[in-house]
């Protein structure tokens, strides 16, 4: 036997070897038992995690309508170009293909890609936003040779009025890290949120709730199937109190000027138009803003981002005489028939105060003093009332407190009095200052919005309304001012005469409409030395005011026009109001020229 | 009973009695049956695993199995004693081929171990393994004492070491490592004193240390390190092991169903039609599927051991043991690898994994083993 006498030994060793292998096989089987049966659930969960991914379905942001149902803000599809680097054969080839289509220099794209280096390669990165349909088509037809490019459709906000109503609507911005960290805000990276205006104030309502898709993905993160879908809730639509037609006319009237226009309904506080000029185009913010564009916005000396209607306070000028008259009547310091003789100037506290009219107005009663805006009449009234009483009545008309409008950044203005002087200036109130305040000059400051609510109180016979921009908001009913109705009547008659009886507001007169109002011209002392003489001239020009309402009986609209460094109220502000009243009450007259 | 034994240099004076046809019925056909069952399971799993791949690996594997069956019949028909007679020149040719592939070969997966012939790749290391087993069987077939003399052991180790070193240079550590169990199995059965075995083991460990510090490329070291702490690098080298364990574990007891494995169908599992085919099977058929496959392997090896034990010549026993050791190691290592018990290296699963040369080799080996059984009455 070839195996020889050792055959049994060989067989024995084969047996041992097989036994060892058998034991190992059994051990392997045991290990699989452990992994599959004992730990199976654990690995099943991991496998599910592997293959399932949650993808947000972005809720479309709510559209915004004007009071007549006209769409002023909506969403348009926007095409973004994404690059899936895990599918790119060569970045170089991909970018060389994309650069001419996007019309961007190659180094730009290379730098952009470098920026995304830290992200995992299966996570697509954004290369370009707002592609044209033509560009989309050029990427789509090359899908076979360039599968790494993905065109993604998202919603982009469209502000149909362009740069009009910008300060009402506001704009959007991408959520910041600190906002993302706030669990109450429930924001995801890349979400857009309101930054200013209605977009900010009603952000929660407009934004809605994102839905979620549970998709099955492969190892490249490519979605291969959808398992579950939760639709979410689209953003709610918002109907504003704004009348887009009036708003556009008001914007047109202020074009090229700095200033503000507020038109509101004195019965309920609904804002019909709200302009702050110069404005900006909120559409700029619907994509990532270029640094140069942002710089241009914030470095413009006319501050286009500033909402002058409520975030800037100015001396009210002669418009304040309405409040002065109410204080005088209510305090019994004057009666409607009491007269004052104006010879053009009067001396108070050893200082001569001039009436705006050289030579004077002659004998003035309350109504004629309002009509002619006689300064001497109100100097005397101011002296009789004193600053404390003036301040009290100013506050009665809500000067010095925010109106409570549903917009961000509202200023409270300033009602000066003795205490304020001591607190802020560390010296007592000078009686001479009272004379200035009596005609709305000096330290007294009010926003155009405050002026509108004040004028509304004279329109509606003594109610303070809370201005608001969203229809159906009756959470703030008009609140009665603690003044007798008789106080308002003579003043209202005076205001009627301002426009309709050859008063200072005659240039606001519209045939067939009874308008009442008060002009104001604020003397400006330029306190900044500008090197640019053009700018200095501009800065030294007066501010023009016109606060008004119509119709005289049962008024439905209050219009306040403010033109910063515009000149005289009667010449600059009143004609603008006239154009708006024509737009509202006399559409038959056609479009008014811009003064 | 005939006696006398062959010397390595002398021509083998094996009697050339042709086995009688009726001996066919006595062959342990269970070996073939379990192999065919495994090949069929492998084919089905390759089909599922490559469903998401561009290439039609199913048809290719089908062709390779067909070729393998033909090769099996051929290697069965040859008297292995005749083959043993040619084993020295074959061994020399395989060394030359291994050297050539280092220069002319095609690189795949970081190792240069392939010859490209048109669209098919051939791995000379697989054939070197078979030829080395043949030559080693012939060399160790000459019994002198109960235990092998030291000199014979050294020569045997050198014979195995030469192709191993060439394969390490490719570098294909897994492929090279497969020579070790073959040599160990054959030497053990041929007869090695435990003391010597121990010494060899120490020398082997020393060699491993040297390979680690001098012979390994960084990615290979990384693989070993990743094996030791797989979760530190989830997207790197540990990714494979992690995904494989998830695939295996998520199959649970009865699997997700054929073609329903999310890990494989969604391409999370790398090398799923080759080295990680067992993961696919485990995911889709669960522990029951894995158990069935392991039982088939156990049946194959039990038949193989029975053949070795009833063979009547030393060379036949050693040849079967050498082939069986390699086979066992492939099965044990690969199945341990897919559940992360050992580092990932390119060691496929016999009859299951996709792969031309490897499938061919396994069928040739199967033919040789059946041949040994068929000729057990003749080759004494």
Interface confidence, given as ipTM, is 0.86
Half-sphere exposure (Cβ direction) of B291: Cα atoms closer than 13 Å: 14
User: pLDDT, tens digit, for every residue of B155-189?
Assistant: 888 899 899 888 888 777 777 878 888 988 998 88
CB atoms within 10 A of CB B105: 21
Size of interface A-B (CB pairs under 8 A): 157
According to the 3-state scheme, what is the secondary structure of A247-290? Answer: HHHHHHHHCCCCEEEEEECCCCCEEEEEEEECCCCHHHHHCCCC
**Does the pLDDT of residue A137 top 50, yes or no?**
yes
Decide if A33 touches B, using CB distance below 8 A: yes
A4 contact B CB<8A: yes
Structure confidence at residue B323 as a pLDDT band (50, 70, 90): very high
**Chain B residues touching A220 at Cβ < 8 A:** 267
SS3 A16: helix
Q: What pLDDT is stored for residue B203 in this prediction?
A: 83
Nearest chain B residue to A121 by CA distance is B235
Helix, strand or coil, per DSSP, at residue A226: strand
Q: DSSP string spanning B148-212?
A: --HHHHHHHHHHHHHHHHHHHTTT-HHHHHTHHHHHHHHHHHHH--HHHHHHHHHHHHHHHHHII
Q: Look at A397-406, A533-542, B99-108, B133-142 and tell me which has the smallest mean pLDDT.
A: A533-542
Tell me, yes or no, if A44 comes closer than 8 A to chain B by beta carbon: yes
Q: Could you say which DSSP state residue A414 is in?
A: B
Q: Using the predicted structure, report yes or no on whether residue A499 has a pLDDT greater than 90.
A: yes
The alpha carbon of B139 is separated from its chain's Cα centroid by a whole number of angstroms, namely 20
CA distance B210 to A307: 78
Cα B347 to Cα A118, A371, A576, B83, B178: the distances in Å are 35, 104, 89, 27, 8
Residue A158 CB coordination number (10 Å): 17
Contact between chains at A14 and B253 (C-beta distance less than 8 A): no
pTM of the model: 0.64
Token look-up 């393994």 returns B129
CA distance A348 to A339: 18
In chain A, what residues touch B312 (CB-CB under 8 Å)?
Answer: 1-3, 7
Beta bridge partners of A547: A518, A560
What pLDDT band is residue B113 in, cutting at 50, 70 and 90?
low
Token pair for B276 = 């990680």
Q: Which residues of B touch A118 (CB under 8 A)?
A: none
Biggest CA-to-CA distance, chain A: 152
Query: Which of A564, A578, A462, A567 has its CA nearest to residue A511?
Result: A578
Measure Cα distances from A348 to A320, A433, A440 in Å.
Answer: 20, 10, 17
Q: A37 and B297: CB-CB below 8 Å?
A: no
Q: What is the pLDDT of residues A87-110, one digit of tens each?
A: 777 888 888 888 888 888 888 888
Whether B267 sits inside 8 A of A31 (CB atoms) is: no
Is residue A40 less than 8 Å (CB to CB) from chain B? yes
Asked, as a colleague might, if the bond just before A488 is cis with ω within 30 of 0, I would say no
Paired tokens of A571: 């010449």
Question: Residue range B48-63: average pLDDT?
Answer: 80
Q: What is the mean pLDDT of the segment spanning B238-246?
A: 79
Contact assignment for B188 to A22 by CB distance below 8 Å: no
What's B240's DSSP letter?
H
Q: How far apart are CA A34 and CA A41, in angstroms?
A: 11
CA distance B111 to B171: 5
Ranges A103-117, A579-593, B142-156: which has the least confidence? B142-156
Does residue A23 have a pLDDT over 80? yes
């Amino acid at each position: 036997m070839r195996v020889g006498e050792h055959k049994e030994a060989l067989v024995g060793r084969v047996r041992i070897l097989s036994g060892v292998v058998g034991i190992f096989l059994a051990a392997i089987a045991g290990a699989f038992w452990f992994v599959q049966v004992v730990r199976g659930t654990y690995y099943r969960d991991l496998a599910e995690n592997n293959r399932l991914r949650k993808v947000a379905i972005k809720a479309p942001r709510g559209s915004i309508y004007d009071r007549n149902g006209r769409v002023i803000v909506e969403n348009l599809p926007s095409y973004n170009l994404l690059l899936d680097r895990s599918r790119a054969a060569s970045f170089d080839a991909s970018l060389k293909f994309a650069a001419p289509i996007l019309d961007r220099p190659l180094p730009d794209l290379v730098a952009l890609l470098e920026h995304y280096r830290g992200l995992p390669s299966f996570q697509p990165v954004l290369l370009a936003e707002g592609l044209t349909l033509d560009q989309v088509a050029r990427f789509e037809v090359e899908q076979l040779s360039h599968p790494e490019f993905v065109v993604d459709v998202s919603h982009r906000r469209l502000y149909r009025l362009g740069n009009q109503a910008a300060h009402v609507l506001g704009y959007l911005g991408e959520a910041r890290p600190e906002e993302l960290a706030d669990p109450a805000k429930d924001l995801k990276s890349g979400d857009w949120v309101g930054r200013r205006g209605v977009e900010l104030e009603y952000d929660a309502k407009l934004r809605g709730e994102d839905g979620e898709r549970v998709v099955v993905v492969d190892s490249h993160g490519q979605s291969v199937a959808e398992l579950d879908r939760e639709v979410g809730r689209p953003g709610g639509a918002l109907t504003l109190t704004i009348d887009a037609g009036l708003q556009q006319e008001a914007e047109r009237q202020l074009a090229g000027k700095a200033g503000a226009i507020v038109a509101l309904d004195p019965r309920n506080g609904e804002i019909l138009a709200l302009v702050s000029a110069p404005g900006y185009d909120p559409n700029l913010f619907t994509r990532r803003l270029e640094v140069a564009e942002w710089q241009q916005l914030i470095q413009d000396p006319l501050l286009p981002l500033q909402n002058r209607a409520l975030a800037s306070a100015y001396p009210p000028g002669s418009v304040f005489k309405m409040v002065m008259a109410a204080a005088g009547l209510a305090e019994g310091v004057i009666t409607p028939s009491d007269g004052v003789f104006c010879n053009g100037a009067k001396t108070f506290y050893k200082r001569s105060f001039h009436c705006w009219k050289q030579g004077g107005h002659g004998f003035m009663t309350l109504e004629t003093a309002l009509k002619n805006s006689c300064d001497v009449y109100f100097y005397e009234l101011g002296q009789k009332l004193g600053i404390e009483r003036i301040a009290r009545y100013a506050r009665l008309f809500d000067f010095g407190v925010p109106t409570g409008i549903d917009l961000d950044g509202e200023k409270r203005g300033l009602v000066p009095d003795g205490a304020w002087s001591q607190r802020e200036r560390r010296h007592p109130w000078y009686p001479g200052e009272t004379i200035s305040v009596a005609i709305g000059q000096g330290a007294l400051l009010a926003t155009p919005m405050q002026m509108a609510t004040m004028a509304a109180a004279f329109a509606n016979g003594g109610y303070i309304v809370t201005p608001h921009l969203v229809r159906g908001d009756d959470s703030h009913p008009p609140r009665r001012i603690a003044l007798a109705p008789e106080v308002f009547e003579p003043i209202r008659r005076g205001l009627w005469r301002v426009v309709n009886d050859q008063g200072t507001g005659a240039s606001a007169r519209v045939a067939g409409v009874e308008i009442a109002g008060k002009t104001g011209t604020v003397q400006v002392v330029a306190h900044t030395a500008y090197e640019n003489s053009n700018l200095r001239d501009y800065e030294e020009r007066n501010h023009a005011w016109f606060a008004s309402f119509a119709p005289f009986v049962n008024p439905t609209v209050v219009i306040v026009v403010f033109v910063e460094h515009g000149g005289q109220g009667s010449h600059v502000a009143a004609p603008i109001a006239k154009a708006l009243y024509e737009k509202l009450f006399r559409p038959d007259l056609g479009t008014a020229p811009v003064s | 009973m005939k006696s006398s034994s062959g010397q390595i240099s002398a021509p083998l004076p094996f009697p050339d009695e042709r086995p009688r046809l009726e001996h066919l019925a006595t062959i342990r056909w269970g070996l073939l049956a379990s192999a065919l069952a495994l090949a069929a399971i492998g084919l089905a799993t390759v089909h599922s695993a490559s469903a998401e791949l561009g290439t039609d690996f199913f048809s290719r594997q089908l062709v390779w199995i067909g070729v393998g069956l033909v090769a099996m019949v051929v290697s069965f028909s040859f008297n292995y004693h005749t083959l043993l007679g040619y084993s020295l020149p074959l061994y020399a040719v395989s060394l030359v081929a291994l050297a050539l592939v280092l220069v002319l070969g095609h690189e795949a997966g970081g190792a240069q171990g392939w010859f490209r012939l048109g669209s098919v790749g051939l791995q000379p290391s697989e054939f070197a393994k078979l030829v080395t087993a043949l030559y080693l069987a012939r060399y160790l077939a000459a019994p002198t004492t109960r235990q092998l003399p030291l000199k014979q052991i050294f020569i045997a180790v050198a014979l195995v070491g030469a192709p191993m070193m060439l394969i390490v240079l490719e570098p294909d550590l897994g492929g090279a490592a497969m020579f070790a169990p073959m040599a160990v199995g054959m030497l053990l059965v041929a007869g090695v004193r435990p003391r010597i075995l121990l010494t060899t083991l120490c020398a082997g460990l020393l060699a491993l240390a040297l390979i680690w510090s001098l012979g390994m490329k960084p990615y290979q070291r990384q693989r070993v390190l990743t094996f030791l702490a797989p979760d530190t690098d989830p997207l790197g080298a540990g990714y494979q092991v992690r995904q494989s364990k998830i695939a295996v574990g998520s199959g649970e007891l009865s699997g997700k169903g054929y073609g329903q494995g999310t890990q494989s169908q969604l391409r999370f599992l790398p090398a799923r039609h080759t080295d990680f085919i067992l993961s696919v099977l485990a995911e889709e058929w669960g522990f029951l599927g894995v158990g069935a496959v392991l039982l088939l392997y156990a049946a194959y090896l039990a038949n193989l051991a029975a053949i070795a034990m009833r063979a009547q010549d030393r060379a036949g026993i050693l040849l079967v043991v050498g082939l069986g050791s390699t086979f066992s190691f492939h099965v044990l290592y690969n199945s341990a690898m897919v559940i992360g018990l050992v580092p990932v290296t390119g060691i496929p699963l016999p009859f299951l994994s996709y792969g031309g040369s490897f499938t061919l080799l396994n069928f040739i080996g199967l033919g040789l083993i059946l041949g040994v059984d068929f000729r057990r009455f003749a080759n004494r």
